[in-house]
Structure 1
Amino acid sequence: MTHLARLERDALCDTFLATGPDAPTLCSPWSTADLAAHLVVRDRRPDLAPGVWVPALASRLEEGQAGYAAKPWPELVDLVRSGPPVWSPARIAPVDDLVNFVEFVIHHEDVLRGDEQVGPRRTVSQRESHAVWTSLNRLGRLLFRRSPVGVVLRDPDGTSTHVRPTTELGTVVLEGAPVELLLAAYGRRRVAEIEVLGSAEAVEALWGAPLGLS
């Protein structure tokens, strides 16, 4: 059975080919070509990664990414599809799933919802939905660590996970399909189809907080 990160990588590449290199993404001002280049750099150029955190090295990262973005579109998409080089630990399926599955789910939605409209554009398999829910259980406390209110995530079946303890401001319950909850957790609530339950004060405090890994 093909592992999840590979399935999502292939699905994203198919979407890239369908949309073309100039389509908008949720990672504005990045186009699909910019996003694809980012993924290639992430796979193949760990030497450029410090540019994310060290301002003095940011220009080197930008130049490297721009070089990939300028490649012919089919060639760039093939680079994304082929994945990390043979020396990368991510060539091992369990490692690939751990470090790349959520990344590809998020960025696939960044492309599919680049028009900023709310709601799903594809059918997500039960296997992938379960894996996303498992990831939310694993990462939820980290993703919502700066929330000033308690946070409960609940899927449509009623299964819930308490990812942030309640505070004096109360608790907010976010209900939706796992991919929709994942988008909200990564700061993309504007396009996530979720139901939000809680006091107006608590909800305002939650959405005013920086969410995600950054």
Structure 2
Amino acid sequence: MSNHARTERERLAELLAAAGPDAPTLCAGWRTRELAAHLVLREARPDAAAGIQLRPLGGWTRRVQDGYARRPYEELVRRFRAGPPRLSPFALPGADEAANTVEYFVHAEDVRRAVPWEPRELDGALAEALWRRVPLTARFELAKRTPVRLVLAHRDGRNLTVGQKLRGTVRVTGDPGELLLFAFGRGAQSAVTVTGWPKELAALRAAVALPAEPGA
């Protein structure tokens, strides 16, 4: 059985190691050093990781993460590559695959696409795993921001709709990994095709990151 989280962890660790501690990422305000610190904190310090999602705890999370970021970068990358500590929730059977496949795929692209990049052709099993995660991601990330109905269209013909009750429709077409990145707010650096009426496209562009317009 494939373990996509393990594969994406190794790929992300390799990208972090190759980039060095001060390379840019697509995570606003974070260099690779801060991203590596975030990854270690998330697995090693569940007390501080809670602040990633819970705003009242965000100050504690930032302080702990800043402490990690001051450690040697090579140590952070090594700790991340080694996998979750034995007592981490992510060490429970199945937790790494369920919780980290998308996390590591997206953050690997955060490193890779912060500099000139080329589209990545995904293994079919990984692409299918990512497609299964698109609906949940779109519901929690896109639905609260889009001003128009969105149809996220897989190139094989499958699709899902976000904001069913909204007026107007924009169609976003791409491979599963690209649609997932779009849903996570990385649309400006995603290989998707966005089509719709100009007024609806303008409204969407004001609310959601989209690829640059042709000729821009």
What TM-score range do you get, normalising by the shorter chain?
0.7 to 0.9
State the alpha-carbon separation in 2 of the partners of residues 15 and 195 from structure 1.
Answer: 27
Between Structure 1 and Structure 2, how many residues are aligned?
Answer: 207
Aligned partner of 2:200 in structure 1 is 202
Equivalent pair of 1:151/1:166 in contact (CA under 8 Å):
no
Aligned partner of 1:174 in structure 2 is 172
Aligned partner of 1:80 in structure 2 is 80
Matched, 1:69 2:69: yes
Equivalent pair of 2:25/2:111 in contact (CA under 8 Å):
yes
> What is the Cα deviation at residue 210 of structure 1?
5.8
**Of 125, 134, 137, which residue of structure 1 is paired with 2:135?**
137
> What is the Cα deviation at residue 85 of structure 1?
1.9
Aligned partner of 2:9 in structure 1 is 9
Q: TM-score, normalised by structure 2?
A: 0.86
Residues 197 and 101 of structure 1: CA distance in aligned 2, closer, same or farther (over 3 Å): same
Aligned partner of 1:161 in structure 2 is 160
Equivalent pair of 2:5/2:97 in contact (CA under 8 Å):
yes
Residues 101 and 64 of structure 1: CA distance in aligned 2, closer, same or farther (over 3 Å): same
SS of the residue aligned with 2:207? coil
Runs of 5+ consecutive residues of structure 1 not aligned to the other structure: none
Equivalent pair of 1:89/1:95 in contact (CA under 8 Å):
yes
Indicate the larger mover: 177-186 or 65-74.
65-74
| CA offset digits 1:90-148 (Å, max 9, x no partner) | 22352222211111111110000112x4752x332111111111111343222322222
State the alpha-carbon separation in 2 of the partners of residues 37 and 104 from structure 1.
Answer: 14
Matched, 1:42 2:76: no
> What is the Cα deviation at residue 71 of structure 1?
2.1
Q: TM-score, normalised by structure 1?
A: 0.87
CA root-mean-square deviation: 2.1
Aligned partner of 1:108 in structure 2 is 108
Q: After TM superposition, which residue ranges in structure 1, 4 or more long, deviate above 6 angstroms?
A: none
Aligned partner of 2:213 in structure 1 is none
> What is the Cα deviation at residue 82 of structure 1?
1.9
Runs of 5+ consecutive residues of structure 2 not aligned to the other structure: 210-216
> What is the Cα deviation at residue 72 of structure 1?
2.0
Indicate the larger mover: 129-138 or 84-93.
84-93
State the alpha-carbon separation in 1 of the partners of residues 6 and 44 from structure 2.
Answer: 16
